[in-house]
């Protein structure tokens, strides 16, 4: 999985002809067709719809948690992150 910054760096390298598309794809672990779609404007960024899974306060809790755990010398696994989000969504109050 990649983050937006990695995608932007790979696209910039291809546009400036610093790297070939194959090298940019391999070094960033982003599929080549995904890079081409973004370069050709075939992919539009989706905005998060109102009423996402987490409130802004709970999103801030997850962000703080993911930043402070590594400072303590521990790694966070994907499973742990999923469990944290699940924990926070379980207490979400809904009108139903």
pLDDT digits (tens, 9 = 90+) for 29-54: 888 888 888 888 786 555 544 556 67
Q: Contacts for 10-13 with beta carbons within 8 Å, 24 or more apart?
A: 10/35, 11/35, 11/38, 11/39
Residue-level pLDDT at 94: 60
Q: What is the rounded distance in angstroms from the CA atom of residue 82 to the CA atom of residue 12?
A: 32
Distance CA 88, CA 82 (A): 10
The verdict on residue 15 lying in a domain is: yes
Query: Whole domain around residue 12: which residue ranges?
Result: 4-39
The pTM for the full model equals 0.42
47 inside domain = no
Q: What pLDDT score was predicted for residue 48?
A: 46
CA distance 55 to 68: 20
In the predicted structure, residue 88 carries a pLDDT above the cut 60: yes
Cα dihedral value 62, 65, 69, 72, nearest 10: 170
Residue 45 lies in a domain: no
Taken in order 26, 32, 34, 37, the sign of the CA dihedral is positive
Does some domain include residue 50? no
**How far is the C-alpha of 7 from the C-alpha of 9, rounded, in Å?**
5
Q: Is the pLDDT of residue 24 over 80?
A: yes
Query: 63, 88 in Cβ contact below 8 A?
Result: no
Does residue 28 sit within a domain?
Answer: yes
Counted domains in the chain = 2
């Amino acid at each position: 999985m990649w983050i937006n910054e990695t995608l932007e760096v790979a696209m910039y390298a291809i546009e400036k002809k610093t790297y070939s598309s194959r090298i940019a794809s391999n070094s960033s672990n982003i599929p080549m067709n995904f890079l081409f779609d973004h370069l050709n404007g075939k992919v539009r960024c989706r905005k998060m719809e109102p009423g996402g899974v987490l409130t802004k306060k709970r999103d801030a809790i997850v962000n703080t948690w993911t930043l402070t755990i590594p400072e303590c010398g521990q790694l966070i696994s994907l499973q742990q992150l999923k469990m944290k989000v699940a924990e926070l969504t379980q207490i979400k109050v809904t009108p139903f």
